[in-house]
Amino acid sequence: MNDANYLIGFFHVEGHGKVTVETELSGSGAHDYQELWKKVRALFPAASEKDILRTGSIIEQRTPAGSQVKFAPGSTIQQMFLNLGDGDDACSRLIGRVDFSGQECDIILRFHRAKNAAGLTLLDRVSKSAIRFSDNIPGMRLASDLPDLVKGIVGQDGRNLKLWLVESH
């Protein structure tokens, strides 16, 4: 199966706040934007057109297996990066998504081989601005500890936390 491209639309709906909808790209930009509009209208049929404002859009490529980050039971964070970056000092993996201080952000786990430590960066999905946290996570920590570690690092400013970490045999 091949990767698929999606158009992601970000909207502000008066009285409801931020809303994100998406559609698989069809090859016609006008059609794809109409599909986004239909989807947001279906979510809020009582809202008038002036109450719905598109605040941005991006195109994302996804693999057919989804965005799951799989690791074997007992794996360390360091082992999650063994096959990712032939000799690079820093590698990264997209591990989830969070609303952070009102912005929808991708959660990037960075691994620095020289330090044998990982860190978190939040990447705003619209502006692509980065928020880098100074916490260093030792590479020898269990990968299964990551959900609690991420929750602790993003703290109460992080809402709707979704992690795509899956322990698989």
| 25-53 confidence digits (pLDDT tens) | 998 999 999 999 999 999 999 999 899 99
Q: Encode pLDDT of 80-122 as tens digits.
A: 888 655 555 458 888 999 999 888 899 999 998 889 999 999 9
In the chain the first and final C-alpha atoms are separated, in Å, by 23
* From 26-40, 56-70, 152-166, the region with the lowest mean pLDDT: 56-70
How many of the other CB atoms lie within 10 Å of CB of 142? 15
Is residue 167 a contact partner of residue 76, using CB atoms and an 8 Å limit? no
Residue type at position 146: L
Q: What is the 3-state secondary structure (H, E, C) of 92-159?
A: EEEEEEEEECCEEEEEEEEEECCCCEEEEEEEECCCCCEEECCCCEECCCEHHHHHHHHHHHHHHHEE
Average predicted confidence (pLDDT) for the chain? 87
**Alpha-carbon gap, residue 85 to 143, rounded angstroms:** 18
Q: What is the pTM of this model?
A: 0.74
Q: Which two tokens stand for residue 119?
A: 């860190």
Q: So where are the chain's domains?
A: 4-62, 69-167
Average pLDDT over residues 155-161: 91
Q: What is the pLDDT of residue 66?
A: 55
The two beta strands, 4-13 and 52-62, are antiparallel
pLDDT level of residue 17 (50, 70, 90 thresholds): confident
Q: What is the pLDDT of residue 82?
A: 80
Q: What is the pLDDT of residue 143?
A: 95
Residue type at position 162: K
